Chain A
């Protein structure tokens, strides 16, 4: 294609939010160009690793059970974010989440009942048939059918923001740079979790020990360029969705299979073989997302979950097999901890466990007494060989630092006025709604809802 000619709508990014915006704008009649920085095989940003979106609904649907009303959804969001959210934008997202599935199906996405091992999400989250990459593929097929131009391996280097408008974009492609003009720009290029330098800037050296579960392509270039050009940033740059991952996982792109779900069934110790947090605080699906930060706070950002034969088979197995040994001391040797220290920790834990009726499906009465930190539920002595351990590292999925937007997905300048021809959707603005914590599937909801708004607004801006 001729890059010297201006386009109507220039979409920066190639994931769920970007394609949703592109498809909407194209269907309204605009000429749309999508720039995806990754090669085709890795297209889709973090959407490639997702599996569902969280939907408000009043009654059971084809793939969702019971009902998930607005107020409950809102309260869930307030709880995980500790109030770090924008009620106007959040409620808008929640309301629109109830009808975006029909639009998604119309554009090729297929849904399925919740996966085995995820029954707790069957009421709130609609799962994509085949997962996020299948969704991304469906959108790219639709985009191609509609005549949307897509350029892969194309990176945005700079944006010229002058007089309250994006004047042009500097892009790099095949070793050459081009100055691209567009009537409207949609920024949907994700956060900065793949940018190890930036992570280090905000976290310090501990970031060296982080794993990036998501795409390796979210370098945060568009986010940074916008913030540097006077766009209002929102959110704490250290806030991110981070879970406890198997330490043996790849540095990038490990996705869902690196997550270790055994924590509530055992104990977690750091490199000194010392426990540091209540493993049984709440249901695992509600608490798994705090463990990335917890492990990040430990020496060398390393921890180990230790459990016994009783727990084996009661969690979704992660990809790497656990370390295994006939005794706690031998297990400690296998994972290179001090055997005496680990034995002491396990012995102290075991003797603090009170009798109770174990039930992993409820907040049961198996807890410890006079132990710090306590284990509030599902506490059973770690005493039945063989013993197992998974090594843990913090695994970042996505960051929350965002550009501030309004309810029309317009990007706001520091003085509060919107950039006239710039809209944002997806992870690059999710921090407006999700300032802290995590609610499974809400990233895709924000991306879809704001992708639609950005697409509509972009088309309106171009076509009048």
Chain B
């Protein structure tokens, strides 16, 4: 693991000082999980900071309420400090380490990879498919494979999926080691249930009840709602693909499927979600207090949103025009975008899903233990 990139010392020192301020103040305790979690600690090592940074949903309520926020001399911008550490952890945990640099120049990295994979697809496809690429199509079973061969599709996507899985497994192991939590602690069904609830409902994005101070000074649930639309849109698309695979391998039904088939319905609903959700989140990013963000991660946020949106758009266009001569190009573009999206997952904003989920699981595990009692109650 010699390639693991450590968290910059400056971030650790600043984070530690901020944690001590928050632990002595505690006014924000009811906003989210970060505060009860930090109150369980007396000292804050790098592992603690990395865990707490990944627990933070960056909603900004604590900054709005903070009596020590800039221009106070403590310059306590808690969400931004955690965002900076979080960004550094994505780099630290990423595998292979040589690709960690992609995180820094992420906007560029993602676009390059996506574009490259797209191009490769288009070229390979047109070369292999020949005239099928530019002719009109029926929606007869197997029509897609006339354009991109079945084997090419399975091989490329299979390889990418395995790679992503491996990269995140390594990342998760690195994260978990950092937290210092024994692996045996994972054998708690109630912790998994609580974490699942926190992930699926985004319970930490309610700002303690009426919504987060996000994107502007008014309490609002817009981020939570739009994130749900994005997340469940993504899940629908994922489910559509999985069911389609089932159709093919278990039932022998080959794509494309009818408009009212389960995979197409799910894909359509999910696709619409992935148009609305990311666009809405982009709008929130645009409107929110710029003090909340780490400018170094703007490219990462943007490229993930744009890639999701383009993937969905290309998929819906493909559905709309799959019986026309544009089908070949659209299919290749869509597959290229999906491939690019997946390939960059371990190095982009998608990583937040993995480490946030792991942090919430860790939170559920430690919350079940009695809290240490500091104070004269």
Contact = CB atoms under 8 A, between A and B. Distances in A.
> A and B: partners?
yes
B375 interface: yes
Interface stretch (A116-124, A268-276, A367-375, A412-420): A116-124
Main secondary structure of the interface of B (DSSP, over half): loop
B16 to A, nearest CB: 10
Contact of B30 (A48, A129, A264): A129
Given A137-B217, A257-B21, A313 B372 contact: yes
Given A253-B72, A257-B21, A317-B24, A116 B64 contact: no
Interface in A100-134: 110, 112-113, 115-120, 128-134
Contacts, number: 122
Interface in B181-217: 208-210, 217
A458 B372 CA distance: 50
Given A130-B65, A133-B65, A255-B25, A110 B208 contact: yes
A452 interface: no
B252 interface: no
A255 B22 CA distance: 12
Interface residues of A, number: 46
Contacts of A112: 29-30, 208
Given A116-B36, A137-B65, A137-B217, A130 B208 contact: yes
A321 interface: yes
Given A116-B36, A141-B218, A132 B376 contact: no
A259 B26 CA distance: 13
B27 A51 contact: yes
Given A120-B376, A315-B374, A317-B374, A257 B209 contact: no
Nearest to A252: B73
The number of chain B residues touching the other chain, given as a range, is 35 or more
A319 B22 CA distance: 8
Nearest to A144: B217
A317 B20 contact: yes
Given A116-B29, A131-B28, A48 B67 contact: yes
A283 interface: yes
Interface in B36-81: 36, 39, 42, 61-62, 64-74
A320 B20 CA distance: 7
A420 to B, nearest CB: 37
Nearest to A134: B65
A315 B29 contact: no
A117 B30 CA distance: 14
Given A315-B376, A360-B376, A129 B208 contact: yes
A96 to B, nearest CB: 25
A261 B65 contact: no
A117 B210 contact: no
Contact of B375 (A118, A133, A312): A118
A189 B27 CA distance: 24
Contacts of A117: 26, 39, 374-375, 377
A315 B371 CA distance: 13
A402 B204 CA distance: 44
B208 A116 contact: no
Contacts of B69: 41
Given A115-B27, A116-B29, A256-B25, A131 B375 contact: no
B241 to A, nearest CB: 42
B303 interface: no
Contacts of A147: none
A283 B376 CA distance: 8
A391 to B, nearest CB: 16
B31 interface: yes
B215 to A, nearest CB: 15
Nearest to B28: A130
A319 B16 CA distance: 10
Contacts of A313: 42, 372, 374
Contact of B371 (A41, A116, A120, A255): A116
Given A255-B67, A285-B376, 5 more contacts: A117-B374, A133-B66, A255-B68, A256-B25, A316-B24
* 7 shortest interchain CB distances as A-B pairs: A131-B27, A117-B375, A130-B65, A257-B24, A119-B377, A134-B65, A112-B30
23 contacts: A115-B26, A115-B27, A115-B29, A116-B29, A116-B371, A116-B374, A117-B377, A119-B375, A129-B31, A129-B209, A130-B62, A131-B65, A253-B67, A253-B72, A256-B24, A264-B376, A312-B42, A313-B42, A313-B372, A317-B20, A318-B24, A319-B24, A361-B376
Interface of A: 41-42, 48-49, 51, 110, 112-113, 115-120, 128-134, 137, 141, 250, 253, 255-257, 259, 261, 264, 283-285, 312-321, 360-361
Interface of B: 20-21, 23-31, 36, 39, 42, 61-62, 64-74, 208-210, 217-218, 371-377
